[in-house]
Structure 1
């Protein structure tokens, strides 16, 4: 019986040592994981900390670009109207010039 108790205690001691060793290794792994995650979090913080400011600047730049685009559209419409008026003027001027040529040619060569 005494031998059984000694062997059983020895087995329990070895089992506890095995569990302690596994817990010690798990603690080391978890410490490395925590260290890595902390490092990643710091780097991400450095990368993304200025992000709101950059987004706001981009938003402002986009707003200014849209305003400039709208002004250019208004200017293009104005130029198209001017070209349309000039084209209309040239067309009227040509018709008047054709009419004057006919009158001149009829004066020079009257119909018989």
Structure 2
């Protein structure tokens, strides 16, 4: 009988342990199921956020591409303008220095006539001044009546 009681007791213990174990497993599984559901919701949120970020970055990439194309066009325009101005202005330094030399030479050759012209002007000015002085004195002498001698 002792063996029978021991067997029943051990079965009872095993059944209770099994029930406790199964109950614990159920609780764990239920918690895991809640966690999985929460995880699924979080994964969904993360996926949606990633899709939104991807769409924003795709838009930014398209704007950057358009900007790159505009900059390439502007670069080509500036290069063409630089080439054109280079062709036009390539001989400018030589022409400028030649012009400066010519102006210097003309100033040197015109300097002596300029001095001569200035001297002639001074002479004419002196003559005009002398003429004015002579007229004043001559008019004074004419305007004074001559005294008769008694």
TM norm. shorter chain > 0.5: yes
Question: For the superposition of Structure 1 and Structure 2, which TM-score range results when normalised by the shorter chain?
Answer: 0.7 to 0.9
Q: TM-score normalised to the size of structure 2?
A: 0.58
**What runs of 5+ residues in structure 2 fail to find an aligned partner?**
1-6, 115-150
Asked if 1:24 corresponds to 2:24, the answer is no
Q: Deviations over 1:81-107 (max 9, x none)?
A: 444433322211122233344545688
CA deviations over 1:28-55 (Å, ceiling 9, x no partner): 1111111011012112222322543442
What do you get for the CA RMSD once the two structures are aligned? Answer: 2.7
SS of residue in 2 equivalent to 1:49: helix
Question: Structure 1: any 5+ residue segments left out of the alignment?
Answer: none
Q: Number of residues paired by the alignment?
A: 109
Match of 1:64 in 2: 70
**Greater Rg by CA:** 2
Q: Which moved more, 1:98-107 or 1:13-22?
A: 98-107
In structure 2, how many angstroms separate the alpha carbons of the residues matched to 1:3 and 1:102?
137
